[in-house]
Structure 1
Amino acid sequence: MLVVEELTKRFGANTAVDAVSFTVDQPMMIGIIGRSGAGKSTFLRMMNRLTEASSGMLAFEGRDVLGLSGRARRAWQSDCAMIFQQFNLVPRMDVVSNVLHGTLGRRSTLATLFNLFPREDIHRAIDILDRLGIAEHGPKRAEALSGGQQQRVAIARALMQDPKIILADEPIASLDPMNAQTVMEALRRIHEEDGRMVIANLHTLDTARRYCDRVIGMRDGRIVFDGTPEQLTTGVARDIYGAGADFSEEATSTEIRDHAARTHTASMAAPA
């Protein structure tokens, strides 16, 4: 389905993504991990054509993604929906309208200008919100929702595009553990129930192991690990993050039980 060969992005003398190659032959949920500056976000932006590649090849279902332009490029961006860490919603706009913005790529300029949406699209947007457990918030302004709820609105907007691939760039980085779990479970259900490929940049190992079928580790722009969650040992993680023997996964955990235990331990240790 997806073939990436020697994909490279240079910014002047700096190589952000360095000859990345891998193949995905069926819909999977893939986690990309690595420290800040490893090239994860740049890679996703090249996939979605938000950033132009310097060299290499990227093909999906036989389509040369890097060679697309004009209408074909916009069609690819509908097929390859992007979810961002900061949600990228219109804060003062109601939730349903934010979700309907996922259809902008296939609507006329006039309809976009006057915010005119077909009734069937409105019903579909509400159905998607209901699927994600936030339909009751449809009439509210997006800014009135919690961070986790806003990220689910962003996921709903992506689903309005009916994409074949969902790219999620650090989708839980700004969320508390409970909301992070809700968002990751939503992405996992979308993969399993819809058969969509999901590629998510993640900053915690436990999240990658728990939700992903395959994990890719990046360091200094290159892939240094590509395997199953079971193969992602602490030793492998040290290599991905360039860390020493003092590397601790606990410090990056988003697992709710672990988080609660750490909070309890800290409160018990605090002076009266």
Structure 2
Amino acid sequence: MLRIEKLTKRFGANTAVDTANLDIDKPVMIGIIGRSGAGKSTLLRMINRLADATEGRILFEGRDVTQLTGKAKRAWQSDCAMIFQQFNLVPRMDVVSNVLHGTLNRRSTFATMFNLFPMEDIHRAIDILDRLGIAEHAPKRAEALSGGQQQRVAIARALMQDPKIILADEPIASLDPMNAQTVMEALRRIHEEDGRTVIANLHTLDTARRYCDRVVGMRDGRIVFDGLPEQLTSGVAREIYGAGEEFSEAATSTQIETLDASTHALRPTRSEALL
């Protein structure tokens, strides 16, 4: 279904992603973990073609995605929807219009300029919002919603594209634990109910184990682990994060009961800790 072969991205003398290889042969939910700067975001951006690879290939159903240009590239970006940490919504626009922006790639320039949406698309957008538990917020401005609600609007916008793959770049990094769980549960349901592949960048071990079928660990731009959640032991985590014996999983937990646990090992940023 999706094959990544020796994918590399260099920025001058720095290598952000180093000869990454990944095979996905069926719809699956994958969590990519690792420290900040490990190359996780760059990998997703290359898959979506927001960034061009320096070397290597991305094959989807036998087609070389890295060679796509123009209309074919835009079509791929519809098939491979992207969800960002900071939501990327239009704050002063109402929620349902933000969701409808997921159809921009298949609409005319005239319709886009004047926000002319078919009634069928409007009904579909509201149905998707209802599925995510936020249909009552459809007429509100996006800026009036909480962070967790805004991220669900961003997920709804991605679903409007009817993608085959959903890429989520740290989707819960800026959310509190309750909203983080709600968003991850929504992504899991989308995978299970729709049969869509979901690939999410995560910082936390418990999130990866709880929601993902497969976990990929990155360190210094290289994939150093690719296995089942139960294979993600503390020893493996220490290797991924480059930490010593003092490493504590509490430092990367999203479980509410462990948020106040003290640790002197890996000290992530606030966003990483909440992730």
TM-score by length of 2: 0.94
1:116 matched to 2:77? The reply is no
Q: In 1, distance between residues paired with 2:255 and 2:195?
A: 26
- Aligned twin of 1:28: 28
- Aligned twin of 1:268: none
Residues 10-159 of structure 1 correspond to what in structure 2 (within 5 A)? Answer: 10-159=10-159
- Aligned twin of 2:244: 244
1:222 matched to 2:222? The reply is yes
User: Over aligned residues, Cα RMSD in angstroms?
Assistant: 1.0
Q: In 2, distance between residues paired with 1:243 and 1:139?
A: 47
Q: In 2, distance between residues paired with 1:91 and 1:228?
A: 39
Q: In 2, distance between residues paired with 1:105 and 1:38?
A: 31
- Aligned twin of 1:267: none
The code of the aligned residue for 2:258 comes to: D
The code of the aligned residue for 2:28 comes to: M
Q: Deviations over 1:230-252 (max 9, x none)?
A: 00000000000000111111121
> Matched residue pairs, number?
262
Residues 154-173 of structure 1 correspond to what in structure 2 (within 5 A)? Answer: 154-173=154-173
Listed as ranges, the gaps of 5+ residues in structure 2 are: 263-275
Structure 1's consecutive aligned runs of 4 or more residues displaced over 6 angstroms after TM superposition are none
The code of the aligned residue for 1:42 comes to: T
Structure 1 residue 262: deviation in Å?
Answer: 4.7
Q: In 2, distance between residues paired with 1:84 and 1:155?
A: 9
Question: Larger deviation: 160-169 or 63-72?
Answer: 63-72
Q: In 1, distance between residues paired with 2:196 and 2:167?
A: 11
- Aligned twin of 2:194: 194
- Aligned twin of 1:2: 2
Residues 173-192 of structure 1 correspond to what in structure 2 (within 5 A)? Answer: 173-192=173-192
Q: Deviations over 1:172-219 (max 9, x none)?
A: 000000000000000000000000000000010000000000000000
Listed as ranges, the gaps of 5+ residues in structure 1 are: 264-272
Structure 1 residue 258: deviation in Å?
Answer: 2.9
Percent identity of equivalent pairs: 83
Q: In 1, distance between residues paired with 2:10 and 2:84?
A: 22
For residue 158 of structure 1, give the secondary structure of its aligned residue in structure 2: helix
For residue 166 of structure 1, give the secondary structure of its aligned residue in structure 2: strand
The code of the aligned residue for 1:33 comes to: I
The code of the aligned residue for 1:17 comes to: V
Q: In 2, distance between residues paired with 1:197 and 1:5?
A: 18
